[in-house]
Amino acid sequence: MLGKIKEVQAKVKEAKDNLVNITVTSEAGAGMVKATINGNRKIVKLDIDPEMLKSNDKEMIQDLVVAAVNKGMEEIEEKIKESLKKSTEGLLPNIPGLDLGNII
């Protein structure tokens, strides 16, 4: 049992170390704003269409940035859970309601 726990811990650590390699790019405003977020929940890139900047509509730009980032955060959470589930497959029993995403 102890060996199994250590194996699970090692797999979780490995999955955590690899989170930086997982990214999602989400869009808002029909692609006018794009946010790229990694598995460490860090925004690594933000693109705003130059045409949008010409509009000088500060509020709209702010709203679209927030929308793109929030959408990306939701998407990366799912990818993190998938990655952790894949890493620990066969090591943990399938327990309904167990949220492995909270481990990382």
Residue 78 CB: number of other CB atoms within 10 A?
11
Residue 3: inside a domain, yes or no? no
Reported as a single tens digit per residue, the pLDDT across 32-76 is 999 999 999 999 999 999 999 999 899 999 999 999 999 999 999
- The residues that bridge with 38 in the sheet, in sequence order, are 23
Residue 6: inside a domain, yes or no? no
- CATH number, domain with residue 76: 3.30.1310.10
- Domain count for the chain, please give it: 1
> Which residue range forms the structural domain that includes residue 57?
15-85
Q: Is 92 left (phi over 0), alpha (psi -120 to 50) or beta?
A: beta
Residue 36: inside a domain, yes or no? yes
**Structural contact between residues 12 and 99, judged by C-beta atoms closer than 8 angstroms:** no
Lowest mean pLDDT among 40-44, 61-65, 82-86, 91-95: 91-95
- Angle at CA 39, nearest 5°, toward 34 and 44? 40
Q: What is the pTM of this model?
A: 0.78
